[in-house]
Amino acid sequence: MQQIIQLIHDNDWGEIRINEPLAAHTTWKIGGPADLLILPSGEEAMIGIVALLHKHGVSWTALGRGSNMLVSDHGIRGVVLKPGTGLDYARFEDHLVHAGAAHSFIKLSVLAGKAGLTGLEFAGGIPGTVGGAVYMNAGAHGSDVSRILHYADIVLGTGELVRYDKEQMKFAYRHSILQEQGGVVVRAGFALEAGDRKEIAAAMASYKDRRMRTQPLKMASAGSVFRNPPGDHAARIIEEAGLKGMTCGGAQISEQHANFIVNIGQATAEDVLTLIGQTQRIIKERYGIELVPEVLVVGER
């Protein structure tokens, strides 16, 4: 690993942190240390680092803002790659928006609205990065990334840079091909349409008001924990079962939104996993419904 650290340093490919606690890099504020956390300084740096890791047989995990991820209490072995400031950019070209993987998805929706472009309003409450949103096909309010993606530039596990269009991404509900084959997004292009700035702003304000009223935005969480079953809502089912407020250690099913698990104080990954398992078991026993988590669970168990 020392040789890898030296080569990354020599090539000025980004910041390196050893045994970095990942609780500081997830919205749940949960997670043990990464052997090595690297913040690549740009696209070429990401390509070089991934190729280097491939050459030396070192495993790696991509991390954005950690808004849809549960990291094990034991952390992640190998390398964690977190796109750095060199990939935090947005550029508008007519109706096409090019954004780096590290750019805030919420901020991108705001910028698009101010530019009079419609299509990204749904992203105004998704607290992740562009890269993470593409990886998970993030969505809300009846729309998702698959509706607007024009292309995604991806560094594969070998270090090869490829460009996938919407069809090649094989999008499904909270799913993309990257969850099957691996790879890390470095840039994405979104095809938007001209719209009325006032109407866009009004829609985003309405979505924000709804979130403020229904979601525990001031508490550490990862957003929705379970996928919505076909034709229903996980939150409705969990609330009907009377599970709001149920706790395990420092983790609690939110009293405000039943599909959120919040960190009420020093929650561990095991607390959250236990609460997820208990919820699944109770819902299965009472209603015969299989609740499927949409959060990614990563790290050493």
* CA-wise closest residue to 87 among 179, 8, 155: 155
* One-character DSSP codes across the chain: -HHHHHHHHHTT-EEEEEEEEGGGGSTT----EEEEEEEE-SHHHHHHHHHHHHHTT--EEE-SS-TTEEE-TT-EEEEEE---GGG--EEEETTEEEEETTSBHHHHHHHHHHTTEES-GGGGG--SBHHHHHHHT-EETTEEGGGTEEEEEEE-TTS-EEEEETTTTT-BTTB-THHHH--EEEEEEEE-EE--HHHHHHHHHHHHHHHHHHS-TTSB--SB-BPPPTTS-HHHHHHHTT-TT-EETTEEE-SS-TTBEEE-SS--HHHHHHHHHHHHHHHHHHH-----B-SEEES--
Q: What is d(CA 158, CA 271) in angstroms, rounded to the nearest whole number?
A: 36
Question: Length of the chain in residues, anyone?
Answer: 301
Tell me the per-residue pLDDT of 14-34, one tens digit each, with 9 for 90 and over: 999 999 999 999 999 999 999
- Indicate whether 73 pLDDT > 90: yes
Average pLDDT over residues 143-171: 97
Residue partners of 292: CB distance under 8 A and separation at least 6: 226, 227
pLDDT band at 203 (very low <50, low <70, confident <90, very high): very high
> Using CA atoms, how far apart are residues 88 and 96, in angstroms rounded to an integer?
17
Question: 56-92 burial, b for 16+ CB within 10 Å, e for fewer?
Answer: eeeebbbbbbbbbbbbbbebbbebbbbbbebbbebee
* pTM for the predicted model, two decimal places: 0.92
Q: Is pLDDT above 90 for 160?
A: yes
Let me know: does 209 contact 126? Beta carbons within 8 Å.
Answer: no
Residue bearing tokens 């999008």 = 171
Residue 125: the pLDDT is 87
The answer to whether residue 63 scores a pLDDT higher than 90 is: yes
CA-CA distance, 45 to 1, in Å (whole number)? Answer: 17
The residue-averaged pLDDT of 215-227 equals: 95
Q: How far apart are CA 17 and CA 124, in angstroms?
A: 31
Q: Could you give the CA distance from residue 38 to residue 82 in angstroms, rounded to a whole number?
A: 6
- How much of the chain exceeds pLDDT 70, in percent? 100
How does residue 127 score in pLDDT terms, banded at 50, 70 and 90? confident
Q: What is the pLDDT of residue 76?
A: 97
Mean pLDDT (whole number) for 275-299: 97
Per-residue pLDDT, 66: 93
**Tokens representing residue 79 in the block:** 């390398």
Q: Cβ distance 28 to 263 under 8 Å? A: yes
Q: Which domains can be identified in the chain, with CATH numbers?
A: 2-85 (3.30.43.10), 89-200 (3.30.465.10), 218-298 (3.90.78.10)
> Catalytic amino acids?
174, 224, 294
- What is the C-alpha separation between 241 and 258, in angstroms, rounded? 10
| Count of other CB atoms within 10 angstroms of residue 7 | 15
Q: pLDDT tens for residues 224-259?
A: 999 999 999 999 999 999 999 999 999 999 999 999
Are 192 and 95 a contacting pair, CB within 8 Å?
yes
Residue 109: predicted pLDDT: 97
- Give the pLDDT confidence score for residue 301 in this predicted structure: 83
Asked if pLDDT for residue 1 goes beyond 90, the answer is no
